Amino acid sequence: MARVVVYPECNDIVAHRFGVINAVYGVAQKHAAVARGILMAHKAEGHSEIVVERGDVDTHVSLNDERGDVAAAAIEYGNRYGGGGVDALGRAFGLT
């Protein structure tokens, strides 16, 4: 079996390349569009949205709700009363 040696600085070098940063952003935008479609199909009152935030290296996709983090978590994961969550982000990124 082959032995693979990864240099410690490899991740840092690759992660900071403009092509990689742009590719990560593009993938995030594509999955965010899918998550928006899933959320729109289940939207009851229209207080929530899928947001893409681009940092220096990373891109974050999140479900935000104007009523706060508890409401956003309940929409995504479900609530304590047994209401099932939409799971828009999990489904869009293939995690569930």
- Kindly report, residue by residue over 22-72, the tens digit of the pLDDT: 999 999 999 999 999 999 998 777 789 999 999 999 999 999 999 999 989
For residue 59, tell me if it sits in a domain. yes
Q: How much is the pLDDT for 88?
A: 94
Length of the chain: 96
What's the confidence (pLDDT) of residue 5? 67
Residue 22 lies in a domain: yes
Read off the tokens for 42. Answer: 């289940």
Provide the number of structural domains found in the chain: 1
Structural domain that includes position 31 = 10-92
Domain annotation covers residue 5: no
Q: What is the sign, positive or negative, of the torsion defined by CA atoms of 40, 25, 52, 28? A: positive
